[in-house]
């Protein structure tokens, strides 16, 4: 079965979401989570192969959700609004932000808006090529091919925006905390843009204790302070809690007391989509967040940061070129078929028209043959009657002559 599939391969868990792409909106079909902790790459590949075999799907397309803790995200203010110049400035800044050569990393960026000084506000994401290449190779060995590789933070934002429109009806700033196994993703966003993202090394089991919740509060306050000092002096209107937060009530109270900001607990993706309608291959662990991979599996958003390996770019270019050739070939065959049909049909119609004319001519010949014979007989009768009328005509002429002339002529003759 062909389906839209989103997969996330983290250090601890494999997450797979299957959706029906033809449905509007896409319908969730299945969800699967498998542990990966302590597995080698070969064992991870086997886990992937078994998982997709159990799901019985052929990914069309296959979207890879890249966890936020594997990516470096930075905010830039660049003195230009020209897209070409912005790209050149970003290329110069990348090597200053990470301890790698530019050829060793993949980057993606989005121009957000223009700040008060007239500089372009840019969100830049950087990831080492080997991280992406490893995930692509794991999928390839398992018989799968990645179509797109996207940053999970954008999917988190899109999930909240699409399901809390009433809360987000204003253009203000909002804060999202998505708790997952191994880290928590802090995102500052509006309805239109993702402005800031930061990872916090806090796991779900730590938030069950007061010390963990207190640390989360402190890290959140520090992130807000950094954002307000370096980006924009704005205060979030709402805080959203998603992922592995359980009921979220204890965390909600802690954040509301510290930040004095209304806090909303985002409903679990499976609960909001109707768990009874979804085929769950196994129980979902409570420490796993499905928010990002679920959003990528059921909705393709336009404003997301994507990463492309050079070999993937070449492969996609070849696929597009092959598709273009196939379309061109199909169009050529179609045109040749039409032209051939026209050239074939035209002589056929001419031949049929000639046969029709010949049949009509034959019918006319038969009809005209009878008329010719009748006309000939009429002419013969007319000639015969003319011959018989000659004496009568002669006598009639004689009667018309003057009697005296006749007598004179008779006398002279005598």
CATH of the domain at 240: 3.30.420.380
Per this entry, what is the length of the chain? 414
| pLDDT average, residue stretch 143-161 | 92
Phi, psi (deg, nearest 5) at residue 262: -55, 135
Percent of the chain residues past pLDDT 70, beyond the cut: 86
Residues 105 and 99: beta-carbon distance below 8 Å: no
Per-residue confidence (pLDDT) for residue 95, from 0 to 100: 85
From the list 297, 285, 294, 292, the residue with the least C-alpha distance to 203 is: 285
For the ranges 3-7, 277-281, 305-309, the lowest mean pLDDT is seen at 277-281
Is 142 a residue whose pLDDT tops 50?
yes
Is 228 a residue whose pLDDT tops 60?
yes
From the list 231, 220, 232, 223, the residue with the least C-alpha distance to 260 is: 220
Is 276 a residue whose pLDDT tops 50?
no
| pLDDT average, residue stretch 67-84 | 94
Per-residue confidence (pLDDT) for residue 273, from 0 to 100: 57
pLDDT band at 264 (very low <50, low <70, confident <90, very high): very high
Residue 97 lies in a domain: yes
**Which of 146-150, 183-187, 268-272, 382-386 is most confident?**
183-187
Per residue in 28-59, pLDDT tens?
A: 888 889 999 999 999 999 999 998 888 888 88
Per residue in 354-383, pLDDT tens?
A: 888 888 877 877 766 666 677 777 777 777
Residue 381 lies in a domain: no
- Domain, as residue range, for 200: 2-307
Is 314 a residue whose pLDDT tops 80?
no
Residue 86 lies in a domain: yes
Per residue in 169-179, pLDDT tens?
A: 767 899 999 99
What's the rounded Cα separation, in Å, for the pair 187 and 196? 6
What's the rounded Cα separation, in Å, for the pair 156 and 185? 9
Half-sphere CA count of 404, side-chain side, radius 13 A: 0
SS3 label, residue 89: helix
pLDDT band at 166 (very low <50, low <70, confident <90, very high): confident
Residue 389 lies in a domain: no
| pLDDT average, residue stretch 252-271 | 89
Residue 373 lies in a domain: no
Is 239 a residue whose pLDDT tops 70?
yes
Residues 126 and 72: beta-carbon distance below 8 Å: yes
Is 384 a residue whose pLDDT tops 60?
yes
| pLDDT average, residue stretch 216-242 | 92
Residue 339 to residues 327, 328, 333, 346, 351, Cα–Cα distance (Å): 18, 16, 10, 11, 19
Domain count, the chain: 1
| pLDDT average, residue stretch 185-197 | 93
User: Peptide bond before 25: cis, by omega within 30 degrees of 0?
Assistant: yes
Per-residue confidence (pLDDT) for residue 126, from 0 to 100: 96
| pLDDT average, residue stretch 205-232 | 93
Residue 174 lies in a domain: yes
What's the rounded Cα separation, in Å, for the pair 124 and 74? 5
Is 388 a residue whose pLDDT tops 90?
no
Per-residue confidence (pLDDT) for residue 37, from 0 to 100: 92
Residue 344 lies in a domain: no
Threshold 0.85, pTM exceeds: no
């Amino acid at each position: 079965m062909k389906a839209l599939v989103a997969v996330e391969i983290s250090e601890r868990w494999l997450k797979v979401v299957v959706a029906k792409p033809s449905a509007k909106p896409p319908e969730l079909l299945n969800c699967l989570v498998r542990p990966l902790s302590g597995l080698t790459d070969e064992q991870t590949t086997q886990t992937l192969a078994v998982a997709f075999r159990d799901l019985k799907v052929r990914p069309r397309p296959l979207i890879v959700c890249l966890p936020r803790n594997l990516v470096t995200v930075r905010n830039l203010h660049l003195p230009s609004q020209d897209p070409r110049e912005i790209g050149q400035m970003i290329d110069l800044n990348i090597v200053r932000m990470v301890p790698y050569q530019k050829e060793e990393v993949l980057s993606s960026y989005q121009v957000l808006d223009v700040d008060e000084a007239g500089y372009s506000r840019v969100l830049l994401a950087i990831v080492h090529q080997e991280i992406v290449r490893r995930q692509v190779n794991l999928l390839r060995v398992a018989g799968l091919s990645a179509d797109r590789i996207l940053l999970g933070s954008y999917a988190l934002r899109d999930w909240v925006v699409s399901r809390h429109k009433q809360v987000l009806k204003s253009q203000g700033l909002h804060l999202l905390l998505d708790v997952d196994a191994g880290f928590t993703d802090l995102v500052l966003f509006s309805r239109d843009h993702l402005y800031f993202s930061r990872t916090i090394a806090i796991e779900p089991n730590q938030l069950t204790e007061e010390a963990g919740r207190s640390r989360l509060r402190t890290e959140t306050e520090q992130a807000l302070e950094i954002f307000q000092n370096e980006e924009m002096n704005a205060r979030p209107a709402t805080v959203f809690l998603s992922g592995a937060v359980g009921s979220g009530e204890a965390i909600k109270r802690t954040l509301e007391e510290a930040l004095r900001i209304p806090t909303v607990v985002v409903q679990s993706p499976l609960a909001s989509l109707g768990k009874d309608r979804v085929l769950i291959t196994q129980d979902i662990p409570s420490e796993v967040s499905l928010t990002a991979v679920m959003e990528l599996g059921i909705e393709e958003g336009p404003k997301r940061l994507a990463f492309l390996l050079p070999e993937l770019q070449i492969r996609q270019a070849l696929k597009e070129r092959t598709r273009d050739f196939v379309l061109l070939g199909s169009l050529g065959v179609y045109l040749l078929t039409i032209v051939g049909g026209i050239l074939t049909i035209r002589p056929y119609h001419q031949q049929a028209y000639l046969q029709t004319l010949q049949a009509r001519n034959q019918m006319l010949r038969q009809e005209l043959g009878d008329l010719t014979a009748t006309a000939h007989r009429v002419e013969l009768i007319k000639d015969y009657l003319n011959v018989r009328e000659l004496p009568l005509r002669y006598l009639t002429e004689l009667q018309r002559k003057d009697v005296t002339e006749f007598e004179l002529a008779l006398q002279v003759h005598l």
